[in-house]
């Protein structure tokens, strides 16, 4: 699934006010070893129509979290029927922890396909209900939270088109700005990483603070990633899914 690259002119005030945190070099993504990847099996590939994919995260035994633009056709803007999704938890070189079809899906009501990326970032969240729960003794879900203060450390786990068959990790991403329901981090993403979880550690527990939505460039020329924050909005989104109907053909 393609991400969107934003210029400063398109980004406007949000990134114009971002000031990079001094003394931090961009961390390069690295492919996890098999042993390390077992710690991140809640993160998986969300395959769409057998030809595209995003990154998604298991947040309850039967719910995954991703970016809203991942559940719409990029050319037509139409909702992708749930029959076209497959979530593969912990995918790595042909092995995986669990594989499920999708029974239902819901994007935030404010998300509109085709709207300029900045205008849609804060609404770029979606949840999908799996057709059956994944037992917690097989894959432990990750909880959700809100980003912390500016300058705090975050971690990004993703699949992308350079490393489609194994998860990559950026160990240190710094939170550059939080504004309402969107945020900016200094780590960058490429295609396939849309919907990737941006994680924070609280009391030794990893939690999803947001999902990767789009790429941007600040006034210094540095590339950044724009996030849709998670936190308290996710339970409301799940409740909205229970009230709505997604195309199931």
CATH number for the domain harbouring residue 20: 2.40.10.10
Average pLDDT score over residue span 70-77: 90
Q: How confident is the model at residue 196 (pLDDT cuts 50, 70, 90)?
A: very high
Q: How confident is the model at residue 219 (pLDDT cuts 50, 70, 90)?
A: low
User: Which pTM does this prediction carry?
Assistant: 0.88
Q: Residue 238 is part of which domain span? A: 8-243
pLDDT given for residue 12 in this prediction: 42
Average pLDDT score over residue span 129-146: 96
User: How many folded domains does the chain comprise?
Assistant: 1
Q: How confident is the model at residue 118 (pLDDT cuts 50, 70, 90)?
A: low
Q: What angle do CA 119, 248, 90 make, to 5 degrees?
A: 70
Q: What CA–CA distance (Å, rounded) separates 60 from 40?
A: 14
Q: Is residue 101 part of a domain?
A: yes
Q: How confident is the model at residue 16 (pLDDT cuts 50, 70, 90)?
A: very low
Q: Is the pLDDT of residue 84 over 90?
A: yes
- Contacts (Cβ under 8 Å, ≥6 apart) of 130: 62, 63, 64, 87, 100, 101, 102, 103
| 176 contacts 196 by C-beta, under 8 angstroms | no
Find tokens 């980004």 and name the residue: 11
Q: Is the pLDDT of residue 245 over 90?
A: no
Q: What CA–CA distance (Å, rounded) separates 149 from 156?
A: 17
Q: Is residue 50 part of a domain?
A: yes
Q: Nearest to residue 4, comparing CAs of 222, 219, 198, 189? A: 189
pLDDT given for residue 62 in this prediction: 98
Q: Nearest to residue 188, comparing CAs of 6, 40, 34? A: 6
Torsion of CA 247, 76, 234, 142, to 10 degrees: 90
Calculate the alpha carbon distances from 129 to 5, 70, 103, 109 in Å.
29, 15, 6, 17
| 120 contacts 109 by C-beta, under 8 angstroms | no
């Amino acid at each position: 699934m393609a991400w969107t690259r934003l210029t400063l002119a398109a980004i406007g005030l949000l990134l114009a006010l971002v000031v990079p945190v001094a003394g931090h070099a961009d961390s390069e993504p690295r492919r996890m070893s098999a042993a390390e990847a077992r710690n991140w099996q809640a993160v998986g590939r969300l395959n769409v129509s057998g030809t595209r994919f995003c990154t998604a995260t298991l947040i309850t035994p039967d719910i995954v979290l991703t970016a809203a633009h991942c559940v719409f056709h990029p050319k037509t803007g139409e909702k992708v029927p749930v029959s076209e999704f497959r979530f593969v938890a912990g995918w790595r070189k042909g092995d995986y922890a669990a594989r499920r079809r999708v029974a239902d899906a819901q994007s935030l009501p404010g998300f509109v396909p085709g709207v300029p990326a900045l205008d849609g970032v804060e609404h770029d969240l979606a949840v999908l209900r799996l057709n059956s729960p994944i037992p917690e003794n097989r894959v432990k879900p990750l909880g959700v939270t809100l980003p912390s203060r500016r300058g705090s450390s975050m971690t990004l786990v993703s699949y992308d088109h350079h490393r489609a068959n194994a998860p990559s990790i950026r160990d240190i991403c710094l939170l550059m700005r939080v504004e309402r329901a969107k945020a900016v981090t200094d780590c960058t993403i490429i295609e396939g990483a849309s919907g990737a979880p941006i994680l924070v550690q609280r009391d030794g527990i990893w939690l999803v603070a947001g999902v990767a939505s789009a790429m941007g460039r600040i006034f210094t020329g540095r590339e950044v990633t724009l996030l849709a924050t998670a936190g308290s909005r996710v339970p409301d989104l799940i409740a909205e899914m229970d009230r709505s109907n997604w195309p199931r053909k």
